Amino acid sequence: MSVTAEIPTQDLEARLSPGALVTDRDVIDSYASDKALFCPAGQALALVRARTVDDVVAVMSFATQHHIPVVTQGARTGLSGAANAVDGGLLLNVAAMDQVLEIDEVNQTCRVQPGVINQDLKTALAEHGLAYPPDPGSVAISTIGGNVATNAGGMCCVKYGVTKDYVRAMTVVLADGTVTKLGRPTAKGVAGLDLAALFVGSEGTLGTIVEVTLALKPALTQPITAVGIFPDTASAGRTVTEYMGSGANLSMLEFIDGPSVAMINAYGDFGLPDDVGALLLVQSDAKGAGAMEELEAFRRVAESNGGSEVFVSDDPADSQMLVAARRAVAPAMEKYAHTRGGGELVDDVCVPRSALGEFFERLALIDARFDVEVATAGHAGDGNMHPSVVFDAGDEAQVSQAQEAFAAIMQLGLDLGGTITGEHGVGFLKREWLGRELDAGARLMHTQIKNALDPLGILNPGKMFGV
């Protein structure tokens, strides 16, 4: 890879849509990273803004011919460095392939190009009385291709599952430029290995997704919302455990700890109280009286577990405001981190729901042990927590402490029978930790499959499998 100057990018340009190849260094470098911290970005040879499947094929064929890396990327909203440039490689950006190709009301499916923004798809589907539930925090800016490549989650998952639950079929371009269809658009299908499922969450290490067929739901019912206020995280954790164990089928169950609530209140007025130990935001979109029944049941469980107050509202404006408050966690933390030296590492562990109480207890110990601040929000109904480590990025000691705290949180996730990443992915950030989560057999299977499908190792090298 050291002789990139000899790679004839003009040959590639001749095979691409006009203007798709970018060799301007400043532009290339502006595409070099996603939103992850502590993930180095290499110096790419060139950027290709693909417009067609043929562009993607040309990139893969060229990369195979010259044995150079290909890093596929969409909106670069990822939090693990999976979309970061690799030295001497091609950045293959598919964000411009952004067409909704088909919306099929009878079969409740759609076919989309990878660059379609999640929220844009939701908007387009709403006109047809259909819904695509997965709603990662990046819903307004991330692409379906990226969502599929990382198996994105969100707040809906407690009831509606994650991205993989909606992927029926896809078209991918393999390392050698072969275009192939995986899966099928039908509701059922068991012909052969589930290769579409293998590609979901594969983070660009097996091929590039150029089209996706998604299963859809009928338009969801307008939810009603409750917010429960707790004196501490423990009582909130107990509430989640007991309530979910009761067989509730909520459409949202989100956790925000006290420090995060304070950051939100400093960021904007969403009607949240001050000085709370923790909040739970709950929604039910059950039909008819079912929704209010579910939220009243939540109130009873919260109150019997030490919750200090529970507000239930069927006013859509309240619902929207509370969801906006939850979505404000990320920018509010970013703003707060800015005042503390700019460093913020967002973790993403997922533990069994029954372990949430112990998780909060031991997280407090981590917070106390390291010279950083930890604030946590997350998808409590799934046991998927996002502790954010806030630190002074200009202070080497703090940076080191932050990285240790970040690692301790992942270890805590593993200790409690969970995973190092519930929805953000491995990428570069957690590649060492992937090896700790998997046993020897699973690690070897990863390598065997990667080597079988990408024998030259040109697809997103150093990500996921890296170590």
Region 286-315 residues binding a copy of itself, contact defined as CB under 8 A: 286-290
Nearer of residues 161 and 341 to a copy of itself, judged by Cβ: 161
Backbone dihedral angles phi then psi of residue 68, each to the nearest 5 degrees: -115, 150
Give the 3-state secondary structure of residue 314. coil
CB of 125 to a copy of itself, least distance (A): 12
Stretch in the footprint of a copy of itself (CB under 8 A) among 178-186, 222-230, 276-284, 321-329 = 178-186
Backbone dihedral angles phi then psi of residue 222, each to the nearest 5 degrees: -55, 125
Nearer of residues 96 and 197 to a copy of itself, judged by Cβ: 197
Q: E strands within 155-287?
A: 167-173, 179-183, 208-215, 217-218, 224-230, 252-257, 278-284
Let me know: does 226 contact 282? Beta carbons within 8 Å.
Answer: yes
Nearer of residues 237 and 259 to a copy of itself, judged by Cβ: 237
Nearer of residues 268 and 352 to a copy of itself, judged by Cβ: 352
Q: Choose which of 156, 234, 244, 409 interacts with a copy of itself (CB under 8 A).
A: 244
CB of 397 to a copy of itself, least distance (A): 30
Interacting residues with a copy of itself between 119 and 138 (CB under 8 A) = 129-130
CB of 447 to a copy of itself, least distance (A): 9
CA distance linking residue 206 with residue 165, whole number of Å:
20
Residues near a copy of itself (CB under 8 A), total: 93
Q: For a copy of itself, what does the binding mask look like between residues 190 and 219, x meaning CB under 8 A?
A: xxxxxx-xx-xxx---x-----------xx
Half-sphere exposure in the Cβ direction for 61 (13 Å, CA) = 15
Categorise residue 142: left if φ over 0, alpha if ψ from -120 to 50, beta otherwise. Answer: beta
CB of 423 to a copy of itself, least distance (A): 6
Nearer of residues 11 and 296 to a copy of itself, judged by Cβ: 296
Q: Choose which of 30, 99, 222, 249 interacts with a copy of itself (CB under 8 A).
A: 249
Tokens representing residue 274 in the block: 């001050």
Backbone dihedral angles phi then psi of residue 86, each to the nearest 5 degrees: -120, 140
On the 0-12 / 13-18 / 19+ scale of CB atoms within 10 A, 441 is exposed
Interacting residues with a copy of itself between 329 and 368 (CB under 8 A) = 350-354
Interacting residues with a copy of itself between 99 and 118 (CB under 8 A) = 104-109
Stretch in the footprint of a copy of itself (CB under 8 A) among 184-192, 297-305, 318-326, 397-405 = 184-192
Q: How many CB atoms lie within 10 A of CB 191?
A: 8
CB of 227 to a copy of itself, least distance (A): 22
Give the 3-state secondary structure of residue 399. helix
Stretch in the footprint of a copy of itself (CB under 8 A) among 5-13, 45-53, 147-155, 326-334 = 147-155
Stretch in the footprint of a copy of itself (CB under 8 A) among 65-73, 86-94, 181-189, 319-327 = 181-189
CA distance linking residue 170 with residue 197, whole number of Å:
10
Provide DSSP, 140-162: TT-BHHHHHHHT---STHHHH--
Nearer of residues 259 and 427 to a copy of itself, judged by Cβ: 427
CA distance linking residue 349 with residue 353, whole number of Å:
12
Nearer of residues 3 and 452 to a copy of itself, judged by Cβ: 452
Backbone dihedral angles phi then psi of residue 237, each to the nearest 5 degrees: -60, -45
Nearer of residues 16 and 200 to a copy of itself, judged by Cβ: 200
Nearer of residues 259 and 425 to a copy of itself, judged by Cβ: 425
Backbone dihedral angles phi then psi of residue 368, each to the nearest 5 degrees: -75, -30
Interacting residues with a copy of itself between 22 and 81 (CB under 8 A) = none
CA distance linking residue 235 with residue 277, whole number of Å:
9
Let me know: does 59 contact 90? Beta carbons within 8 Å.
Answer: yes
Q: Choose which of 15, 122, 184, 362 interacts with a copy of itself (CB under 8 A).
A: 184
Interacting residues with a copy of itself between 431 and 450 (CB under 8 A) = 433-434, 437-442, 444-446, 448-449
**Counting contacts by CB under 8 A, is residue 418 touching a copy of itself?**
yes
CB of 282 to a copy of itself, least distance (A): 16
Nearer of residues 178 and 320 to a copy of itself, judged by Cβ: 178
Nearer of residues 99 and 448 to a copy of itself, judged by Cβ: 448
CB of 3 to a copy of itself, least distance (A): 30
Interacting residues with a copy of itself between 366 and 405 (CB under 8 A) = 379, 381-384
Handedness of CA 281, 285, 286, 290 (dihedral sign): positive
Q: CA of 253: how far to CAs of 80, 183, 207, 379, 383, in Å?
A: 25, 32, 35, 6, 10
Count of positions (residues) in the chain: 467
